[in-house]
């Protein structure tokens, strides 16, 4: 049994147009200190999955089914008061946009004091500030800047502060939701280096949510590929690179520039992700798939296990199922 077990998770949103399913029967597991990359285009359900683990969905969202087990404890069955104590303490979250996640009228130190004293009320303000300074040093920020406001930091530094807040209470799991969005490539690399260092130093499991498959292949231990709310492929990073199976994952790889290939021809994935209100029948990817068969248009493929730690949702591999 893994440290984190997600079993048949279903998340839906109620809208004026009706109810849509943003996460459809998602299942996977991960171990302690593992870094798992969750990849897919915008609208595939990645961020919804991350927020659902903390039960922080917007008012229109609700978890319609499934279980989320953290060290055997089902998070979805806990009372809200118990769940509040898990947020920050056992699970840290790095939100997409630090400028909208940090309070603009609060000093950075006040963010840490509020977090630490919420979970450790016996800690004084001064003790919380001293601990915050040590954490800021860990993420490469001078401790004397603890009295600055969010607008006084660059985008990369604000992201480092968000990561520092996520790890302030030494959580067992950190969910990083597109932590390098809108950052230049140099800062992106530094943020990813920081996440790897913190995983190794603090011993936390990390879920890295991103649209960049190249980043996950380089940084993560295992990779889950989502499309139209469904899990399409799941494997270790080495196995996925060596033996990519799903046509969608193959198409994502072909769209990544490779400086080692002089004659590489980048290929865009035709079409656009489907409207969740008007999903195609059968396989959700068939309208954009170069291997689509007639049965793909009417039957929905199930998730097949290929080998020890490789799963794929595609009719092409039915004969290879382990």
Q: CA dist 311 to 41, 46, 67, 204, Å?
A: 19, 18, 20, 25
Is residue 247 within 8 Å of 291, Cβ to Cβ? yes
Q: Cβ contacts of residue 317 below 8 Å, gap of 6+?
A: 245, 304, 306
Assigned superfamily of 4-90+171-320 = P-loop containing nucleotide triphosphate hydrolases (3.40.50.300)
Distance CA 11, CA 255 (A): 29
Distance CA 292, CA 286 (A): 5
- Burial class of residue 300 (count of CB atoms within 10 Å of its CB; 0-12, 13-18, 19+): middle
Domain residue spans of the chain? 4-90+171-320
Nearest to 160 by CA among 184, 195, 201, 115: 195
Q: Cβ contacts of residue 61 below 8 Å, gap of 6+?
A: 11, 12, 13, 22, 48, 51, 52
Q: What are phi and psi of 101, to 5 degrees?
A: -90, -25
Strands annotated E in the chain: 4-15, 18-30, 35-39, 61-70, 73-74, 91-94, 173-177, 205-210, 222-227, 230-236, 304-305, 311-312
Q: Print pLDDT tens along the chain (322 aa).
A: 579 999 999 999 999 999 999 999 999 999 998 999 999 998 899 999 999 999 999 999 999 999 999 999 999 999 999 999 999 999 999 988 888 889 999 999 999 999 999 999 999 999 999 999 999 998 889 999 999 999 999 888 998 899 999 989 999 999 999 888 767 788 888 888 888 888 888 889 999 999 888 889 999 999 999 999 999 999 999 999 999 999 999 999 888 776 565 666 777 888 899 999 999 999 999 999 989 999 999 999 999 999 888 999 999 998 776 5
Is residue 93 within 8 Å of 175, Cβ to Cβ? yes
């Amino acid at each position: 049994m893994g440290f984190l077990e997600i079993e048949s998770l279903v998340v839906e949103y109620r809208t004026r147009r009706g109810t849509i399913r943003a996460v459809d029967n998602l299942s996977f597991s991960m171990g302690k200190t593992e870094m798992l990359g969750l990849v897919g285009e915008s609208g595939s359900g990645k961020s919804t999955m991350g927020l659902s683990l903390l039960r922080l969905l917007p008012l229109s969202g609700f978890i319609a089914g499934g279980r989320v087990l953290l060290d055997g404890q089902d998070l979805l069955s806990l009372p809200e008061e118990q769940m509040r104590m898990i947020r920050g303490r056992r699970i840290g979250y790095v939100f997409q946009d630090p400028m909208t996640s940090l309070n603009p009228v609060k000093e950075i130190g006040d963010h840490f004091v509020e977090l630490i004293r919420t979970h450790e009320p016996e800690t004084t303000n001064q003790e919380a500030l001293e601990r915050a300074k040590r954490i800021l040093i860990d993420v490469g920020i001078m401790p004397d800047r603890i009295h600055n406001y969010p607008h006084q930091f660059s985008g990369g530094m604000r992201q480092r502060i968000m990561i520092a807040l996520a790890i302030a209470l030494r959580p067992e799991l950190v969910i990083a939701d597109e932590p390098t969005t809108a950052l230049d490539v140099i800062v992106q690399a530094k943020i990813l280096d920081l996440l790897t260092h913190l995983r190794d130093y603090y011993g936390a499991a990390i879920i890295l949510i991103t649209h960049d498959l190249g980043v996950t292949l380089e940084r993560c231990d295992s990779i889950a590929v989502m499309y139209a709310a469904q899990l399409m492929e799941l494997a270790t990073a080495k196995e996925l690179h060596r033996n990519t199976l799903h046509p969608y994952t193959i198409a994502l790889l072909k769209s990544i520039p490779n400086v080692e290939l002089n004659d590489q021809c980048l290929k865009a994935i035709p079409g656009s992700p489907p409207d969740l209100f008007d999903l195609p029948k059968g396989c959700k990817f068939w309208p954009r798939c170069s291997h689509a068969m007639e049965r793909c248009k009417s039957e929905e493929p199930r998730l097949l296990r290929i080998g020890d730690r490789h799963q794929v949702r595609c009719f092409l591999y039915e004969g290879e199922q382990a």
